[in-house]
């Protein structure tokens, strides 16, 4: 009998990347994959969640659906991030248990770890201390997924687990300036600077202003790489404990490097400046992928500048469907 996998959040950045790898490199004939978005059912509503899962009757689930956003969106909407994500996660895991789904992989994030901590962060530290003020709502909702997973294991012997990605970027990201993360936000703003026909300034004299000092350090994973690892987690990783899915510590980059890589991908000829009146967020949140490397020592991550180029090219070629 073939395995039926349902992916919640299947229309988003990560969901669409999983769809792509499932149709190409990760294809298997004994699996049927179904990708759903918010139009298929509102997962903040228990009844609607039950109807959706009854309709597809999956054996396995990758649960990605969430209210997601960048630093500035989080800072202004902490209550909504907490409540919506708690509702979605509680409904999805409860209904998975009710209909006897035997494996669920849900999604946490490295940005939910304690603000004051030692580095590198690892999987044992999820609940150690207060998250950063800017995203306490999102962080606590995500941390509770791990609490739910432990509860479903202890009371019902369920294998519901979680992955912890670092910052993700790639095709089908949300480029809307009010909600976007740093990379799609920069891509969208630079595109507008280059294509602003309301001014006569030649491109050489145009200025790409980056928010903050440019000094914070971040690990970024290309969505197609994460997709392959998420599929591997569903098929092979049999522990309830979270697993960090991140590039190596040596691959951490500054926000300034991100801005310069995006400018290079656009072949931007103007200047880059930094607006230090804007918040930087956490200086760094280096995560260790030692656990992942113990299972997948040879996994090859796409090089950052190469993946940024693919992402910018996708953005330029898909202006009609870009979320912005
Ligand atoms: N992006 C990152 O840098 C990052 C980093 C670490 C972890 N994560 C986690 O990765 C997962 C996927 O994130 P993403 O970046 O792919 O997000 P995304 O592109 O914003 O996609 C979010 C997905 O969730 C769905 N969704 C939102 N609210 C819903 C609701 N009430 N009912 C049903 N579906 C709903 C959306 O459906 P529609 O589009 O159809 O409305 C969409 O498919 C999330 O759990 C996120 O927390 C993301």
The one-digit pLDDT tens for each residue of the chain (324 residues) are: 789 999 999 999 999 999 999 999 999 999 999 999 999 999 999 999 999 999 999 999 999 999 998 777 888 899 999 999 999 999 999 999 999 999 999 999 999 999 889 999 999 999 999 999 889 999 999 999 999 999 999 999 999 999 999 999 999 999 998 878 899 999 999 999 999 989 889 999 999 999 899 999 999 999 999 999 999 999 999 999 999 999 999 999 999 999 999 999 999 999 999 999 988 877 888 999 999 999 999 999 999 999 999 999 999 999 999 988
Report whether residue 170 contacts ligand 1, using a CB cutoff of 6 Å: no
Crossing angle for the helix pair 304-317 and 182-194, to the nearest 10 degrees: 50
The pLDDT of residue 258? 98
Report whether residue 163 contacts ligand 1, using a CB cutoff of 6 Å: no
The pLDDT of residue 217? 95
- The Å distance, Cα 203 to ligand 1 centre, comes to 35
**Closest C-alpha to ligand 1, atom 11:** 64
Measured CA to CA in angstroms, residue 307 lies from 80, 184, 289, 313 at distances of: 32, 13, 20, 10
Dist CA 253 CA 172 (whole Å): 22
Report whether residue 219 contacts ligand 1, using a CB cutoff of 6 Å: no
The pLDDT of residue 232? 98
Tokens of 13: 């950045």
Separation of CA 139 from chain center: 13
Dist CA 49 CA 41 (whole Å): 6
DSSP-assigned letter for residue 86: H
Report whether residue 68 contacts ligand 1, using a CB cutoff of 6 Å: yes
Of 56, 119, 138, 140, catalytic:
138
**pTM for this one?**
0.96
**Closest C-alpha to ligand 1, atom 45:** 64
Dist CA 96 CA 65 (whole Å): 14
**Closest C-alpha to ligand 1, atom 21:** 12
- The Å distance, Cα 2 to ligand 1 centre, comes to 27
Report whether residue 181 contacts ligand 1, using a CB cutoff of 6 Å: yes
Report whether residue 65 contacts ligand 1, using a CB cutoff of 6 Å: yes
138 is a catalytic site residue: yes
- The Å distance, Cα 308 to ligand 1 centre, comes to 20
**Closest C-alpha to ligand 1, atom 26:** 65
Tell me which residue has tokens 């040596």. 250
Mutate to test the pocket of ligand 1, among 14, 48, 67, 174 (most ligand atoms within 8 A of CB): 14
Q: Is 129 helix (H, G, I), strand (E, B) or coil?
A: coil
Report whether residue 52 contacts ligand 1, using a CB cutoff of 6 Å: no
Query: What would be the CATH architecture of the domain defined by 3-170+219-251+286-302?
Result: 3-Layer(aba) Sandwich (3.40)
Locate the domains of the chain by residue range.
3-170+219-251+286-302
């Amino acid at each position: 009998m073939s395995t039926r996998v349902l992916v919640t959040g299947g229309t988003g950045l990560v969901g669409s990347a999983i769809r792509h790898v499932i149709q190409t490199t990760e294809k298997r004939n004994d699996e049927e994959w179904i990708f759903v978005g918010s139009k298929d059912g509102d997962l903040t509503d228990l009844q609607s969640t039950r109807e959706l899962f009854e309709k597809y009757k999956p054996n396995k689930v990758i649960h990605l659906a969430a209210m997601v956003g960048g630093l500035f969106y989080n800072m202004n909407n902490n209550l909504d991030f907490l409540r919506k994500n708690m509702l979605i996660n509680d409904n999805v895991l409860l209904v998975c248990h009710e209909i006897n789904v035997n494996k669920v992989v849900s999604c946490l994030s490295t940005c939910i770890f304690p603000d004051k901590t030692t580095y590198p962060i690892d999987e044992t530290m999820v609940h150690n201390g207060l998250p950063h003020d800017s995203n306490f709502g999102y962080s606590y909702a995500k941390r509770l997924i791990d609490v739910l997973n432990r509860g479903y294991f202890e009371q019902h012997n369920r294998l519901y687990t979680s992955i912890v990605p670092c910052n993700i970027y790639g095709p089908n990201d949300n480029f809307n300036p009010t909600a976007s993360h740093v990379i799609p936000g920069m891509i969208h703003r630079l595109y507008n600077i280059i294509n602003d026909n309301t001014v006569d300034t030649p491109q050489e004299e145009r200025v790409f202003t980056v928010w903050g000092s440019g000094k914070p350090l971040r690990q970024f994973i290309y969505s197609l790489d994460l997709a392959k690892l998420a599929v591997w987690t569903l098929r092979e990783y049999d522990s309830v404990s979270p697993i960090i899915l991140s590039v190596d510590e040596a691959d951490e980059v500054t926000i300034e490097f991100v801005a310069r890589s995006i400018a290079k991908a656009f072949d931007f000829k103007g200047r880059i400046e930094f607006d230090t009146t804007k918040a930087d967020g956490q200086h760094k949140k280096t995560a260790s992928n030692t656990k992942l490397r113990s299972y997948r020592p040879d996994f090859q991550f796409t090089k950052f500048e190469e993946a940024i180029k693919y992402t910018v090219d996708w953005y330029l070629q898909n202006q009609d469907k870009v979320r912005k």
